[in-house]
Structure 1
Amino acid sequence: MPKLLPPLNALRAFEATARHLSFSRAAEELNVTPAALSHQVAGLEAFLGERLFNRSARTISLTPAGDLLYPGLNAAFAQIRQSVERVMETGDGQILVVSAPPGLTAKWLVPRLHRFLAAHPELDVRVSASLMLASFAGDGVDVAIRNATGPFPGLWSRKFLEIETLPIVSPRLIEQYGPLETPDDLARFPIIHDDSLGRMFGLPTWMDWLKAAGAEHVDLSRGLHFSSADHAIEAALEGAGVLLGVRSLAIDDVRVGRLVFPLSLSLRSERSFHIVCPAGHENRPKIAAFCAWILDEAAKLGLACTDDSPPPVSEGKRGRRSVSAAGNDPSPNAPAPAARPQRRGRARQAPT
């Protein structure tokens, strides 16, 4: 009778931890907490009756038993992934699963996605709007959009949109409260807070913007608070207050006159929107097509990030680029410096 095998989740936990030699990085890949992953590894050690890792305060290393177990598991999981990918390419290969933050999904991606579908009617696109990082290993995601600084170990990545924040308001609110021509005028207006800015290191907040503008009499203790950028923008559209928001997420509403950028000072973050996928997957036809399209859409706005790296090339179209839009190399792995002002001057309405 064959011997019982350990639980598959425990084997996955060990393989990822051994590959990264880090519980935290393995937990991020598998989309579990480090504590849960450590518990799974401990269960595997109990099942085998062997310690698999030497643990110290800051590092881990494989024991002889771990060294014996890892190569076979690593090769086995690689074969499983390759087999699944082959089936997906022949079966559901025309399904493209995209993971993106909720705010960007609602205010930027969804209004444009019909153009991608029109250009690629053979593809069935499924969008998962989530703040959780896609693991790619087991969640079925093909490509993801991340608001981050990078780099992304093990992933191909390209910046495609700068993130800069500035005041956003409905013209109706200006009619109600009077001119909004200087930062000090904000003291007369209700304020809207996008709390997602404060949760992410490197994103400017109202406090940062007012300090850069030299405005000292705006009461930030008042106003509506929202945990999602798209909800905060919807509140601004309804005339609930002045929002410090992300330019690229509000640009469509500004162009049709539903919102305006009343003050010219903006703060650029060291974070950007990146498109990412597992390294080597960027040349798969459906992923290459989506990446090329999203870079082109960003370029049309005039807010795209630029660098000299080539765009992805479809495996079926080697030798020619998929799009001429510029992209990015990942940002250096260093703490983001303070947000910097982009412009200062008299208030104006952005052109539509």
Structure 2
Amino acid sequence: MLINVTYIPHLNALRTFSVAARHLNFTTAATELNVSPSAVSHQIRQLESYLSTSLFDRTARQLTLTAEGEFLFRRLDDPFQKIGLAIEQMRTPLSTKSISLLCRPFFSSLWLAPRLRSLWTTLPGIDLNLIHKTSFTLADAETADIAILWGKGNWPEMTCERLVKGTLTPIMGRQLAKIAGVPEKPSDLARYTLLHEENRTHWATWLERAGVPNLKTSGSALVDDTNVRLQQVLNGQGIMLSDPALLSELLACGELIRPFDLTLGEYSYYLAWPSRRPPETRVRRVIDWLLAESRTNASN
């Protein structure tokens, strides 16, 4: 249900109530609002009169909210916090210092780098420090302002927001398809070399779900850099698991081939930062831009 918000009565009193309810102390609220405690009390009385209900229980030694006050506070505090954050973001210069962003080269080259022109157009003056590592620990991620992590979004002591939903499926190159043909069923993969990521778990999971958990292949190679694995696939040296959305152009032109529909869908790319260190305004603006780019990409 949409409410007409062109006129909200007693908006200043609502803000005063929100601050007073957060502190449960009129004097502390007055200090934050830069008014007198009597002004705070007067505005609260006005609001209570308008609503025909008491918002605070003043009989106890400690000021407390009534049930009606608690109801109102829970619906007011977050909007006022968001308004304050928006104003702060508009007034904060972006170029205070560089923002470090840690991610893997593969994702950076295929998804992030093509969008950087839009970043600098949207947030002029931003100073971005891109740090690329083929693999990194949570300790590495904690040293950056923002990290883009691949996984399930369940890293301890990290706050995560999903950036790009990931899927993994076998990908082969046109050269290998000409030499050995395109596999028609999962068991046909026994004829090919499988290219693995750092710990081989993705291929093991995909083969199990495909019904061939103990498949013996003609060869395998562990390559920790996804860009190198992709180059091997393009050179006809094996089959890798990768996200077809990131490789859409190479798939569309026929350089790469996706032989099966079966995918692993429980992994994604996440924006992450330490929970103990909320993003500064300038960092939050980059996070919001990244999420907006992701939503735009998903809708296209």
- TM-score interval, smaller chain: 0.5 to 0.7
Return closer, same or farther for 1:153/1:176 CA change in 2, 3 Å cut-off.
closer
The aligned residue for residue 243 of structure 1 is 240
Q: Secondary structure at the match of 2:227?
A: helix
- Where in structure 1 do 4 or more consecutive aligned residues deviate above 6 Å? none
Amino acid of the structure 2 residue aligned with 1:178: G
Return closer, same or farther for 1:218/1:151 CA change in 2, 3 Å cut-off.
closer
Task: Note the 1:38-57 alignment, pairs <5 A.
Answer: none
Aligned counterpart for 1:196 among listed residues 194, 198, 202: 198
Post-superposition shift, 1:263?
A: 0.8
The aligned residue for residue 228 of structure 2 is 231
- Checking the alignment, whether the CA contact within 8 Å between 2:100 and 2:130 is kept in structure 1 is yes
Task: Note the 1:1-352 alignment, pairs <5 A.
Answer: 93-130=96-133, 131-133=135-137, 139=143, 141-152=144-155, 155-188=158-191, 190-198=192-200, 204-215=201-212, 218-220=215-217, 222-269=219-266, 271-279=267-275, 281-282=278-279, 284=281, 286-302=282-298
Q: Secondary structure at the match of 2:204?
A: helix
User: Which ranges in structure 1 are unaligned for 5 or more consecutive residues?
Assistant: 1-88, 199-203, 303-324, 326-352
Q: Deviations over 1:194-239 (max 9, x none)?
A: 23253xxxxx522322222224785336133311222111211222
Q: State which structure, 1 or 2, has the greater radius of gyration over its C-alpha atoms.
A: 2
- 1: CA distance, partners of 2:291 / 2:167: 18
- Checking the alignment, whether the CA contact within 8 Å between 1:148 and 1:274 is kept in structure 2 is yes
Amino acid of the structure 2 residue aligned with 1:261: R
- 1: CA distance, partners of 2:110 / 2:222: 18
Amino acid of the structure 2 residue aligned with 1:289: R
- 1: CA distance, partners of 2:157 / 2:220: 42
Q: Secondary structure at the match of 1:126?
A: strand
TM-score by length of structure 2 reads 0.57
- 2: CA distance, partners of 1:91 / 1:295: 18
The total of aligned residue pairs comes to 206
- 1: CA distance, partners of 2:156 / 2:142: 17
Is the helix fraction higher in 1 or 2? 2
- 2: CA distance, partners of 1:136 / 1:232: 23
Post-superposition shift, 1:123?
A: 1.1
Return closer, same or farther for 1:167/1:281 CA change in 2, 3 Å cut-off.
same
- 2: CA distance, partners of 1:103 / 1:238: 17
- Checking the alignment, whether the CA contact within 8 Å between 1:99 and 1:129 is kept in structure 2 is yes
Q: Deviations over 1:2-33 (max 9, x none)?
A: xxxxxxxxxxxxxxxxxxxxxxxxxxxxxxxx
The aligned residue for residue 5 of structure 2 is none
Return closer, same or farther for 1:136/1:228 CA change in 2, 3 Å cut-off.
closer
- Checking the alignment, whether the CA contact within 8 Å between 2:146 and 2:271 is kept in structure 1 is yes
User: Which ranges in structure 2 are unaligned for 5 or more consecutive residues?
Assistant: 1-91
Post-superposition shift, 1:259?
A: 1.6
Q: Secondary structure at the match of 1:169?
A: strand
Amino acid of the structure 2 residue aligned with 1:168: I
Return closer, same or farther for 1:212/1:90 CA change in 2, 3 Å cut-off.
closer
Return closer, same or farther for 1:260/1:160 CA change in 2, 3 Å cut-off.
same
Amino acid of the structure 2 residue aligned with 1:207: A
